[in-house]
A and B are shown apart, each in its own frame.
Chain A
């Protein structure tokens, strides 16, 4: 595991920066073009979630290894109101923010591993991993 980089998510411009950082890390890991696109899209959704629902937070971009396989691990954390019903939040079409409700459920389908930790008034942390094929 190599040292990752931390990025703040405090504005719309930061979301763009997170996307760019994730793309360059995905290139480094050697993800295919389609997988790069998937993981950058997931990062965009999750970073926006942290900004809109969590009132801002942090993104961590890390390159991980599992034997000969390399992967990209992303952690998005905020200290917002949290999610009461995680199961429900992961259903397609469920939203509290007037969005399409595809951010969480959709980005889960775009990555290989997805982990969501949240509780009311405890903030939300989403960890996702995408492995190179």
Chain B
């Protein structure tokens, strides 16, 4: 099983998913991330899915779970780089990713986090 690396940039954690995720890796990532948020007192989490070719209900649920979990640990989550084909498929699948913030790319994701934190200091 491959593990997804978690990068730290200031008080933001960045996860860039570059592999075809199997369900076990998804679950491991959820746990690793929760621990990392606490260990680094992170205020923001960015999940980059630019390289992800499909998001099925399992991965969709992971994104929602990570967002909810981080919120509880006082960190905001932004999912960035979703491909058009993936977005269309998610809509058709009926998955709304409720409550997850999204941005077009990493840069805009960082800007969004700054903005959110600026609004609620």
Contacts and interface: CB of A to CB of B under 8 A. Distances in A.
Interface of B: prevailing SS: helix
Interface string A90-115: 00100000011011011101100000
A129 interface: no
Interface string B3-25: 00000000000000000111110
B22 A12 contact: yes
B85 A44 contact: no
A115 B79 CA distance: 34
Contact of B53 (A13, A37, A103, A110): A37
A102 B55 CA distance: 13
A37 B85 contact: yes
A75 B94 CA distance: 22
Interface stretch (B30-38, B40-48, B56-64, B70-78): B56-64
Contact of A41 (B22, B24, B55): B55
Contacts of A92: 94
B94 A106 contact: yes
B86 interface: yes
A89 to B, nearest CB: 15
Contact of B95 (A16, A37, A106): A106
Q: Is the interface of A mostly helix, strand, loop or mixed?
A: helix
B51 to A, nearest CB: 14
A20 B22 CA distance: 12
A130 interface: no
- For chain B, the bracket of interface size reads 20 to 34
Nearest to A109: B92
A102 B57 CA distance: 7
B89 interface: yes
A19 B86 CA distance: 14
Given A37-B89, A106-B94, A15 B54 contact: no
Nearest to A102: B57
Contacts of B23: 12, 15, 48
A34 B89 contact: yes
Contact of A110 (B22, B83, B86, B93): B93
18 contacts: A15-B22, A16-B20, A19-B20, A34-B88, A38-B89, A40-B54, A41-B89, A44-B58, A45-B56, A45-B57, A48-B56, A48-B58, A99-B57, A100-B95, A102-B93, A103-B57, A105-B94, A106-B57
